[in-house]
């Protein structure tokens, strides 16, 4: 987390604004969004009996494993401080190509937060804010889903204006423009990938291999059942119980062998496949050869025989 002293003008301005309701923090990559959210969570939480944080960055979030969205609700009571979490499975670390799950997960977790009647909900977001690829569209629809009381917009120049101009002037929504702090450090894509891998490795560090029958469970198979496929193990409300890594799929018996840190397998009501492939032993992301070729500018589709070789069978 970048250093943001509590006495900086940016922090002083935000803290003195009287934030309440849903507070959405926007900004591009490396703009200090998460640092600001964490400072507000720590400082404002000292004075509130209840506060919630909705982390909607599936790649560089800080409250849950990569590929997920996480809602955290903190309450103070006579017995002390309690923390409750809900997670939603996206299945990838980038919102590109996954905007519908991003919006569905944000809306579902926001509904859960509203049930808690917390006076302040902080919403951290990913840095995807460009026109290219649909970042502006995604953020506008996220704002429409959440209808925040406040938008805190961290800008280097005016990169957020295509988003902000659509919402200014509403009596129910206040927009506060903030300059990106000079202390923010620019991270390389390699650093971001390393951080994701470290978090995946920690998550699966104490995982074990289990067999999971699908005969009485719902399944959402959006990608091939390839060894290493990231899985979301869901409860009866389709919130995430745990991540898993597919080791083998036995279609005739309708049984999966998976690696997961989750032990209470009977609670799993549904399975959802993610887009990512992980190394089953280390938990690190695996870049398929086709993706590497695309990065090098070579466009090709795998043949049917190549695809079949990746499928796990009896």
Partners of residue 122 on adjacent β-strands: 23, 53
pLDDT in tens, 36-71: 999 999 999 988 999 999 999 999 999 999 999 999
pLDDT in tens, 192-232: 999 999 999 999 999 999 999 998 899 999 888 999 999 99
Q: Could you tell me which residues come within 8 angstroms of residue 277 by beta carbon, excluding any fewer than 6 positions away?
A: 226, 228, 229, 230, 285, 286, 288
As assigned by CATH, the class of the 9-179 domain is alpha beta
Task: Say what the pTM is.
Answer: 0.89
Q: How many whole angstroms separate alpha carbon 36 and alpha carbon 14?
A: 9
Place of tokens 């991003």: 102
**H or E element, residue 41:** helix 33-45
pLDDT in tens, 241-290: 999 999 999 999 999 999 999 999 999 999 999 999 999 998 999 976 55
What Å distances lie between residue 115 and 34, 286, 308, CA to CA? 24, 39, 46
CA nearest neighbour of 76 among 52, 112, 109, 110: 52
- Which pLDDT score is estimated for 292? 42
Q: Could you tell me which residues come within 8 angstroms of residue 159 by beta carbon, excluding any fewer than 6 positions away?
A: 28, 129, 130
As assigned by CATH, the class of the 204-310 domain is mainly beta
Which sequence spans correspond to the domains of the chain? 9-179, 204-310
Q: How many whole angstroms separate alpha carbon 272 and alpha carbon 253?
A: 18
Q: How many whole angstroms separate alpha carbon 250 and alpha carbon 297?
A: 36
Split at pLDDT 50, 70, 90, the class of 164 is: very high
- Which pLDDT score is estimated for 6? 54
Cβ atoms of residues 125 and 56 within 8 Å: yes
């Amino acid at each position: 987390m970048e250093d943001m002293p509590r006495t900086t003008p940016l922090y002083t301005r935000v803290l003195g604004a009287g934030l309440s309701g849903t507070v959405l923090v926007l900004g591009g990559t490396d703009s200090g969004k998460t640092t600001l959210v964490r400072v507000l969570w720590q400082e404002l939480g000292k004075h509130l009996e209840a506060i919630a944080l909705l982390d909607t960055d599936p790649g560089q979030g800080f409250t849950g494993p990569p590929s997920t969205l996480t809602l955290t609700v903190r309450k103070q009571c006579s017995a002390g401080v309690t923390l409750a979490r809900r997670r939603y499975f996206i299945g990838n670390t980038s919102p590109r190509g996954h905007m519908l799950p991003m919006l569905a997960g944000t809306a579902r977790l926001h509904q859960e937060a509203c049930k808690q009647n917390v006076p302040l909900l902080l919403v951290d977001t990913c840095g995807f804010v460009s026109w290219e690829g649909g970042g502006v569209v995604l953020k506008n629809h996220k704002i429409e889903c959440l209808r925040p009381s406040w938008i805190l917009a961290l800008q280097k120049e005016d990169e957020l204006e295509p988003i902000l101009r659509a919402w200014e002037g509403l009596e129910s929504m206040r927009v506060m423009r903030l300059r990106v702090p000079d202390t923010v450090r620019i991270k390389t894509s390699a650093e971001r990938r390393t951080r994701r891998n470290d978090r995946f490795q920690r998550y699966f560090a104490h995982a074990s291999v289990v067999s999971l029958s699908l005969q009485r469970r719902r399944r959402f198979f959006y990608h091939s059942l390839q060894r290493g496929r990231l899985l979301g193990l869901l409860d009866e409300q389709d919130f995430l119980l745990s991540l898993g890594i597919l080791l083998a799929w036995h279609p005739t018996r309708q049984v999966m062998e998976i690696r997961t840190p989750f032990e209470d397998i009977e609670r799993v009501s549904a399975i959802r496949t993610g887009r990512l492939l992980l190394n089953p032993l280390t938990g690190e992301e695996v870049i398929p050869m086709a993706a590497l070729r695309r990065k090098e500018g070579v466009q090709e589709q795998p043949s049917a025989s190549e695809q079949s070789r990746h499928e796990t069978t009896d």
